[in-house]
Structure 1
Amino acid sequence: MTVSVATDPAECFALRRTVFIEEQGFTEADEWDDLDASAVHLVKHVKDQPVATARLIPQGDAGRIGRICVLKTARGLGLGAELVRYGIEYFASKGAKRVVLGAQVRAQGFYAKLGFTPIGAVYDDGGVPHQEMERAL
């Protein structure tokens, strides 16, 4: 099944809780913010089970892809890349000039393969080093 806009964001939130809070140790305060209410939430199902998610947020002439996560049991299947490609196409169709994201430093190579380049300095997000990255459209 392909990536789709979630009809029930609760399943996306459950995935994020599993990956970011339970597995990676982010706090509730770090994970949840006011942007969820206006974001477009993406979900990828495998065998009718949600296994990956991301959220899309317009920001002026840019689009932000965030909270990209894949369940441990579904990693290595290209699902994260599918989510990012969907986000790129989504923002291109809306006339955005670039797509930005905050990558965990350990995942920079993954995003570089999808055409993203680092901008600015490394910063801390919830105790984890992150790098802002962008891709022109």
Structure 2
Amino acid sequence: MLEIARSDDLVACQALRRAVFIEEQGVSEVDEVDGRDGQALHLLARWAGQPVGTARILVQGDAGKIGRVCVLRAARGQGIGAALIRAAVAELSAMDGVAEARLGAQTHALEFYTRLGFVAEGPEFMDAGIPHRMMARPLHPGK
């Protein structure tokens, strides 16, 4: 059974990010550990009680930036990533003054985020040696 909730367990969140970003994708520790975890809201996905995925939310003005989204390789294909994004969007939607969700998507994941209501903006850019595009989604369409 999948559970996704806010979490103060930074050790678990950072261990997941290390496994996916540093060990699997080859992102440098300097790029992954940016010193912003203390300012962020963290979501932790657990499957049968075991940490399998995480996402981080930083609010900047009227936009919430969803980042550091990852799911362990062995747990992929179960809808956990999509559930994390839906949970992050729900968290941002409940915050006063936050009108938009933003994220920097690895280009291979653009279709994934598009299916979740995000639209690509601007040119491709490199982040930690991986091609990305910015994506955004209004939180309260029609307001």
Give TM class, smaller chain.
over 0.9
Matched, 1:121 2:110: no
Distance 1:105 1:114 in 2: 15
| Inter-partner Cα distance in structure 1 for 2:37 and 2:52 | 19
State the partner residue of 2:13: 12
Cα distance in 1, alignment partners of residues 101 and 9 from structure 2: 25
Aligned residues between the structures: 137
Distance 2:73 2:29 in 1: 20
Q: In 2, Cα distance between the equivalents of 1:49 and 1:129?
A: 30
Q: Does residue 91 of the first structure (1) align with residue 92 of the second (2)?
A: yes
Which AA in structure 2 matches 1:136? P
Provide the secondary structure at the position in 2 that maps to 1:16: helix
Match of 1:133 in 2: 135
Structure 1 unmatched runs, 5+: none
Partner in structure 2 of residue 77 of structure 1: 78
Aligned to 2:111: 109
**Which letter maps to 1:124?**
M
Residue equivalent to 1:24: 25
- Percent identity at matched positions? 47
* 1:60 partnered with 2:58: no
> How many angstroms does 1:13 deviate by?
0.1
One-letter identity of the residue aligned with 2:105: A
C-alpha separation in 1, matches of 2:43 and 2:33: 16
- TM-score for the superposition, normalised by structure 1: 0.97
Alpha-carbon RMSD across the aligned residues, in angstroms, is 0.8
